[in-house]
Amino acid sequence: MTIDGRTEIYGIIGRPVAHSLSPAMHNAAFAALGLNKAYLPFEVEDVAGALTGLRALGIRGASVTIPHKQTVLPYLDEIDPVAAKIRAVNTLVVSGGKLRGLNTDWLGANRALAEKLRLGGSRVLLLGAGGSARAIGFGLLEAGAEIVIASRTPEKGQALARALGCPWLPLAEAGDHRADALVNATSVGMDPLAETMPVRKEALARFGVVMDIVYAPLATKLLQEAAAAGCQTIDGLSMLLYQGAAQFELWTGQTAPLAVMREALLAGLPQ
Ligand code: NAP
């Protein structure tokens, strides 16, 4: 990559950001298309200051990650309607000094699931009630799917279910449910919980498709058992890739080079 006086700058705002795979993914994509753009990590504590800086420096766009997906909201000039429902933004587009916030996490999840399932009218059991489950839940509603939420902490799960207008189950009862797809949006299965599963393995045959958004490890225990039970499986790299592809397309107006981006993500994942 050559940086010169015309290089357009993008980046990721979060804390911590040192572990983020986004710089490798976006820089690989910019290079593959010969774009004079670069993407940098910005470890940010002062969100208001960072966003003023973004405008002042002419930075063209940014990803937003934990803990700033909600804290950026009051400082934006415009919020995409679905991001407003989710109440979280993971993407900023800067144009004419104005900041527009969007959420591509739900777009990534929908695109990943849509490779194996027609979303409209499908029944999806969504595990978890955290930030990712909220984005995926609103995204599934956009696509016309029917959702049931199952999660560990009742108050949190019931609050999300109310926001989505869908039923809630305790996580312990998730295995008694039947649906076209099961989506794990809990941290169960992620290192150091890599030997654990959010539902018992005997229940997996109740779901045609099983998607895990955990990507470290990539072949989670849930996905291994789901494949053994005959389910179609989707790993956490797909959502990660497609949310990044949607960001790339918002920033450049060009089709994202998926193979290059996938390769960059795979190279950055812990082996
Ligand atoms: P979060 O907001 O902290 O939510 C975590 C959820 O997991 C909560 O519902 C929590 O339960 C549940 N949970 C955690 N430990 C549990 C346990 N031992 N048993 C049962 N439930 C448990 O996290 P998040 O940002 O939504 O992320 C969730 C996972 O998705 C992480 O592993 C993250 O790496 C992954 N992720 C993947 C992508 C992707 O693109 N593939 C994107 C974002 C995140 P309570 O409801 O009880 O709090």
**What digits encode the pLDDT tens for the residues 34-78?**
999 999 999 999 999 999 999 999 999 999 999 999 999 999 999
Range(s) for CATH 3.40.50.10860 in the chain?
8-103+239-268
- Quick one: pLDDT at residue 42? 98
Cα(76)–Cα(97) distance, integer angstroms? 11
pLDDT at 142: 97
DSSP β-ladder status, 98-102 and 91-95: antiparallel
Closest residue by Cα to atom 27, ligand 1, is 132
Q: Where in the chain is the domain with CATH 3.40.50.720?
A: 107-234
In what side-by-side order are the strands of the sheet with 146-151?
168-170, 146-151, 123-127, 179-184, 207-212, 232-234
* pLDDT score for 192: 87
> Pocket residues for ligand 1 (CB within 6 Å)?
108, 128-133, 151-153, 156-157, 171, 185-188, 190, 213-215, 236, 239-240, 243
Task: Judge whether residue 255 has pLDDT over 90.
Answer: yes
Residue 6 has pLDDT above 90, yes or no: yes
Cα→Cα distances 254→33, 73, 114, 247, 265, Å: 9, 27, 21, 11, 20
- CATH superfamily name and code, 8-103+239-268: Leucine Dehydrogenase, chain A, domain 1 (3.40.50.10860)
CA angle, corner 266, sides to 264 and 270, nearest 5? 120
**Mean of all residue pLDDT scores within the chain:** 97
| C-alpha distance from residue 25 to each of 22, 82, 248 (Å) | 5, 25, 10
Which band of pLDDT confidence, cut at 50, 70 and 90, is reported for residue 193?
confident
Non-local (6+) Cβ contacts of 180 within 8 A are: 117, 122, 123, 124, 207, 208, 209
**Distance of CA 150 from the midpoint of ligand 1 (Å):** 12
> pLDDT by residue (tens digit) across 133-173?
999 999 999 999 999 999 999 999 999 999 999 999 999 99
- Give the active site residues: 69
Record: fold of 107-234: Rossmann fold (3.40.50)
Q: Are 66 and 14 in contact (CB under 8 A)?
A: yes
pTM of the model: 0.96
Nearest CA to ligand 1 atom 43: 132
Atom of ligand 1 nearest to the CA of 243: 40
Ligand 1 centre to CA of 207 (Å) is 21
- Dist. CA 130 → ligand 1 center (Å): 6
Which tokens hold the place of 83?
């991001």
Q: What is the pLDDT of residue 191?
A: 87
In terms of C-beta density within 10 A (0-12 exposed, 13-18 middle, 19 or more buried), how is residue 155 classed? exposed
Residue ID of nearest Cα to ligand 1 atom 3: 130
